[in-house]
Amino acid sequence: MKHALHNTMLSAADELLASVGLARQRVIGAPAVGGFLSGAIVGAIAALLLAPTTGDELIAKLGTRVKTLRDTLSKSLASGDDADDSTDKSNRSRTKQREYASAQG
């Protein structure tokens, strides 16, 4: 029932905005991903702290998780460097094309 009412209200809002030439902007991407990642990190920390383990086991698990996260981030950053290299190559290619076009005439 709540879902149907929510959809009806959104439809009415969309119609009202359309009548004045506007539309709602639906944002999917960075904010949603950031919220998801934040929730995942908080959930993982809570799960580790609330799990029935000894202090030594918890420290060992945290160390393993931190190492895994560090490795994952370094791999992500390394692949990001590759993206920068391809961007530089693309920019150099465009510059050469412009130089060639201006030389031709």
Same domain, 18 and 37: yes
Same domain, 37 and 64: no
For every one of its 105 residues, what pLDDT tens digit does the chain have, with 9 covering 90 and above? 566 776 787 788 888 888 888 877 766 666 667 778 888 888 888 887 788 878 888 888 888 888 988 888 888 877 765 545 556 666 677 777 777 667 765
Q: Quick one: which H or E segment has residue 23?
A: none
Q: Could you tell me the residue range of the domain that residue 30 belongs to? A: 1-51
Same domain, 63 and 88: yes
Q: What percent of the chain is modeled with pLDDT above 90? A: 0
pTM for this predicted structure: 0.33
Same domain, 71 and 94: yes
Same domain, 42 and 62: no
Residues 4-26 pLDDT 10s: 776 787 788 888 888 888 877 76
**Per-residue three-class SS string for 69-86:** HHHHHHHHHHHHHHHHHH
Helix axes 55-104 and 30-50, enclosed angle (nearest 10): 160
